[in-house]
Amino acid sequence: MQIVPARAKKAQGASLSIVPIFLLVLSVMASMALVAQRAATRQEQFELTREKHQLSQSLSFESENLLANVARDDTLGNLFQHQRNPALAEAQLVGLNTRTTLDFSALVDKTSGQVIAEAGDSDTAAQRKALIVELIESSRMRGVSQATLGIGREARIVHDGSSVLSLIAVPIGRNMVLVGTKAFTPIMLRRLSTMLSVPDLRVFKGLVLQETSYVVQPLGSQPPLSLIWTPSRKAAETLADLAFFGLIASLAVAAIAVLVFKRIRASTEAILVREAKASHEARHDPLSGLPNRAVFCELLADNIEDLPHRDSSIAVLLLDLDKFKDVNDTYGHAAGDKVIIDFGNRVRSLLRQTDVIARLGGDEFAVMQMGIHTHMETTRLAQAIIDAANRPFTMDGATMRIGVTVGISFAPDDGMDVATILRAADTALYRAKNEGRNRFALYEHRMTEAERIRKLVDDELRGAIEREELTLVYQPQVHADSGRIASVEALVRWRHPVHGLISPATFISAAEERGLIVPLGDWVMRRACRDAARWPGLRVGVNVSAIQFRQSHFPENVATIIREANLEPHRLELELTEGVLVEDADQAEAAMMELRAIGVKLALDDFGTGYSSLIYLRRFAFDKIKIDKSFLDSMEATGESAILVHSVVHLGRALGLEVTAEGVENEDQRRFLQAVGCHYLQGYLFSKPVSAEAIDEMLKAERDQSALASPDAA
């Protein structure tokens, strides 16, 4: 029996204890290497996906930008006029190509597929024409393949066998479409490559199956063509780093053992953090960090259950942001996200520790106010929230203004369950919106009276239109310099034989909900044109709803009404709001072109109340803008509203548009608007809405005054 010295036994024990540690380190390092390999692979895949997505978005942006430049061109109306004269149409196309950088354009009959006129480089015109004719022919059988056009306004990226192209299509009237192309030059591809950090972006003739490729849709039956590039980073580089790190780690077993234990501990803490974060995200809004709808309803239910043991009430405030969509449309979703976060923080700063604010979704919030003894406590909070929302929001130097509408209900007064309380608050919110937004309303049980009036409107409005129980009044719009009447705005009124005067806001919204807005709008336009026919030289403005304007036969109806009334087309002015243009901008643009071809004038109403107004001025061909009266209500000579009005007037004049200011009620406003160059003024200072007979008297008085002032009269 061999006796081992104690020191040797100790060393042997130490070596034996190192073996499992060494094996543990190796296994941990191997696992880490595998995890890192997978992470590197996923990162590379993520980068490839990002590069493809950014390239696709940039190509689409180029084509959409080309489409916007062409659609804004002032000569499109001339193409409509010269459709039967190929020579003149071709001359228009040549000019269009020069202005918009198109390398080929063609005016095509959508029905027959015939090319009416074409213009482009001599080297490519014949081939492009043949491919476009083939594309138009296939487009008349929609759904056959992805290559077909919608024969409407469209922009896409295609290729002609050798070059990548931006292809755009713009409807010209009902039967024609303008098709144009612009090739991506090597310079443009290099610019995209640099901008997107996509190295060595180039065109490859053929179908490439590698991941760093983007297949371009052919224009016609062309062989495949792809855009390829060099990946910015390969996973192999990361794996090489890992191999070196693994070698170093294997040589320093003891140090790495300590590191492994630390990493295990850190991983455990990270897992706990992730679990806590996941639990938090499941119950909180990820953007604002506020509790979500589920948590709010849960807390509300718990507190309602405890109400019998308390001597106080619970108030629920539903908050709905006003004009939030305009912020997203004008400044982008990043600005909208910042508004959501800032608004949540502003409201949270107004609450007590026992109160709760939650984001229900989109631009909707809810507040639960605990320990309420009087309604005044809640109304003070509601007004403070409205004041907080009215303060400007800023991002990157841009100032954004919104508002908030608040509906309030109480437990137990308005109910003792979550659904009833929220429904009551929502009813109050609906009432506040109908009363003009940016205000609060408390739920009242007599709100059912408003529902009864709405039912009355629904039941009797159709008969009132058919029996012509409605009437029109007209509010003059005067020249800012002379004060003489230049035009009138037609406003509809309904005086019910039993219930008296019913608010236009009530029965017009009911008409939209019940599908009566089109016959109502046609009746208003027909009556207004008939009255205007007896006022030579005077224009009449008619408001057009979004539903009425989107009718496919609307331009034809307008032409028929003008012809029946024997009214000059330029004396009819259709007043459109931004809502008419938002849902289907392409259809709106086509309808406006047809109306302008008839000779009808177009005005953008309530200008300045929506953040996207400038976009519409740039894209759509308006003749006039009307400044909303809300700017004049709070206008002072040196105030912010005065600066905005001054800017809008100068903007309109710079664009060659007439400018009308609504809501002029005193001499100070009139003098200010005249000084800044406003063309026309409208408001109670000059006249309230009056009957057609009263307009007759006003015009007669103007004629008599002119006759007395003339030299012949002297």
Q: What is the pLDDT of residues 479-535, one digit of tens each?
A: 999 999 999 999 999 887 777 777 787 778 777 766 788 989 999 999 999 999 999
The DSSP bridge partners found for residue 660 are 626, 680
Mean pLDDT across the chain: 82
Q: Which helix (H) or strand (E) holds 282?
A: helix 253-283
Both tokens of 305, joined, read: 């259950």
Q: Is 650 in contact with 643 (CB distance < 8 Å)? A: no
| E strands in 121-268 | 154-159, 164-172, 176-183, 202-205, 213-218, 225-228
Count of residues making up the chain: 714
Is the pLDDT at 101 greater than 60? The verdict is yes
For 530, residues 6+ apart whose C-beta sits below 8 A from its C-beta are 565
Q: Is 354 in contact with 372 (CB distance < 8 Å)? A: no
User: Among 80-84, 192-196, 352-356, 545-549, whose mean pLDDT is lowest?
Assistant: 192-196
Higher-scoring residue by pLDDT: 226, 673: 673
DSSP letter, residue 307:
G
pLDDT value of residue 569: 95
For 105, residues 6+ apart whose C-beta sits below 8 A from its C-beta are 93, 96, 97, 118, 119, 120, 178, 179, 180, 181
Q: Is 610 in contact with 617 (CB distance < 8 Å)? A: no
Question: Which one-letter amino acid corresponds to residue 335?
Answer: A
Give the separation between CA 121 and CA 183, rounded to whole angstroms. 11
Classify domain 293-443 at the CATH superfamily level. Reverse transcriptase/Diguanylate cyclase domain (3.30.70.270)
Q: How far is CA 621 from the centre of its chain?
A: 20
Q: Which residue has the tokens 């919106």?
A: 433
Sheet holding 176-183, edge to edge: 115-120, 104-109, 176-183, 164-172, 154-159, 213-218, 225-228, 202-205
pLDDT value of residue 7: 44
Both tokens of 351, joined, read: 């609450």
Query: How many other CB atoms are there within 10 angstroms of residue 208's CB atom?
Result: 16
Question: Which one-letter amino acid corresponds to residue 164?
Answer: V
* 469-707 maps to CATH 3.30.56.10: no
User: Among 217-226, 256-265, 269-278, whose mean pLDDT is lowest?
Assistant: 256-265
Question: At 181, is the secondary structure helix, strand, or coil?
Answer: strand
pLDDT in tens, 143-152: 545 567 777 7
Is the pLDDT at 159 greater than 60? The verdict is yes
Both tokens of 371, joined, read: 């320990």
Higher-scoring residue by pLDDT: 437, 366: 366
pLDDT in tens, 59-100: 888 888 888 888 888 888 888 888 888 888 888 888 888 888
pLDDT band at residue 384 using 50, 70 and 90 as cut-offs: very high
pLDDT value of residue 13: 46
Q: What is 677-700 written as a DSSP string? A: T-SEE-STTT---B-HHHHHHHHH
Give the separation between CA 8 and CA 30, rounded to whole angstroms. 32
Q: What CATH class has 51-228?
A: alpha beta
Where would I find the H helices in 488-609?
Answer: 504-513, 517-532, 546-549, 554-565, 578-582, 585-598
pLDDT value of residue 109: 85
pLDDT value of residue 473: 94
pLDDT value of residue 192: 80
Integer angstrom CA distances of residue 376 from 292, 390, 436:
27, 21, 22
Peptide bond into 412 cis (omega under 30): yes
